[in-house]
Amino acid sequence: MADGAVNRALIVKIESILGASGQQHKRQWDFVQNRLHGMWLMRNPSEYVKMRVLAAIDMAQGKTITERIRCVSEMTFEDERGRRHRFAFRTIETWRWRYKKHGFTAVCSRERSDKGKTRKVSPEELLEAIEQVKPFFRSERFNISELYRRCIEQGLLRRDQVAPGTFRRLVNTHELLKPDHAASDKLRLAFAKRHANEAWQADTLFGPRVGIPGGRFVQSKLIAFVDDASRLCCHGQFFAEENSPAFKTALKRAFYKRGLPQMLYVDNGSIYSSAELSAICNRLGVRLCHTPVRDGAAKGKVERFFRTVRDQFLIRSLDLSSIDALNTQFTAWAEDEYNHRLHRTLGMKPVERYALDRTRVQYLPPSQYTEELFMMEETRGVGVDNTFSYKRIRYEAPADLRRKTIHIRYDKAPTAQKSPPPKRIPVYYKGNRIGEAKALDRIANDRPPAPKPTHNI
């Protein structure tokens, strides 16, 4: 019996078995029919196939364009490999509409914008979760399945956020379990920027344990900024915690002292990839760049500065009674010794090299609203009563902005379960500062009735 007769007999037999249920699974049944007739499912047709389908519309039978497209949807087309395909009416109609409106480029297949990227979890978040569960294992040879289970148990990751297979693939792709020197062992070329403030490198160094209010001692963290061209320590400051408010404080002081860099080069830590830092950099015109994952050596200049800090500053007999005392000693060492010491690579002092480009340095504009450049920003809609809500508190807009979308700025409070409402909420509309919002006072807005006029007889 010929293959065609076998296929037809098989189709008749399957139809008799499925009966009405075949209508319920139409898509699966159509796929079976297409395979039995030698047609293949084509998810991403090439431009060659699409243009053949569109060209067939002009020669198809029918009085209207709808009839011709429906006629083409019943035809079969061969691709470059000789496989036969059939396309739905809606698919052909979409191709024709795009070609008619945008031309040939609209017909070309485009890759997904998020191809190769993770949408629910980033490699940096996985790395932070893995680093927190590593102490639970005795050996340095980790089982990826056990790491995943421990991350789920500790609440660091969720099952709906990353599946076991995705977790394993990301760990292997980004080499999250390899030591730093093994994960970043690649060819590097020495480089330097031409002018000062073209690029800053920033990072965090874990320092000594210092006293804090309450009689406890915690490990300090040094956040430092180093200019790429001059190796100048733009600013460095110790903190008791490593969080976004601490980094914003250090960043603000660095900008006030040394001006604005054209680029800020940081790693992928949580404080360096926060939305707050991105908003500040966009507002000030600073390009924020991140190093590749697990590639700390990419920030070689700030890492070399930290080595100098460990070898020349932290070995001293320091006053560790408080963070302020430690910062006073570090500022004196950085400004008076490090920045004024001859640098072997430069052949001059970092402060002298930085002074050569002082005319190119762009400082923050002197304005009473400069502090608002470092605030967080959110979008709010103003109601018909000219008020908006923030943190469950109603505020009055400083001008008539009813039914308008505004941007409010506020200072992000330190990490806490319950933070007080911000003292100031500047309001911006279409990039212009309108004023500061104030909390709604319904009693003050109550207007007493106008007195009745008296008629003298």
Full-model pTM: 0.60
Q: Per-residue pLDDT tens for 216-238?
A: 899 999 999 999 988 999 999 99
Q: Per-residue pLDDT tens for 245-299?
A: 899 999 999 999 999 999 999 988 888 888 888 888 888 889 998 887 666 666 7
Mean pLDDT over residues 60-65, rounded? Answer: 88
Q: Per-residue pLDDT tens for 367-417?
A: 788 888 888 888 999 999 999 998 888 999 999 999 999 999 988 765 444
- ∠404-410-412 over CA atoms, to 5°? 140
**β-sheet bridge partners, residue 203:** 224
- Residue type, position 364, single letter: L
Query: Quick one: pLDDT band at residue 431, thresholds 50, 70, 90?
Result: confident
Share of the chain above pLDDT 70, in %: 80
Residue 16: predicted pLDDT:
59
Select the more confidently predicted residue: 388 or 135: 388
Query: Quick one: pLDDT band at residue 113, thresholds 50, 70, 90?
Result: low
- Residue type, position 219, single letter: Q
- Produce one character per residue of 240-269: b if its CB has 16 or more CB atoms within 10 Å, e if not: bebbbbbbbebbbebbeebbbbebbbbbbb
Those residues whose C-beta lies under 8 Å from the C-beta of residue 7, and which sit 6 or more positions away, are 36, 37
* Gyration radius of the chain over CA positions: 33
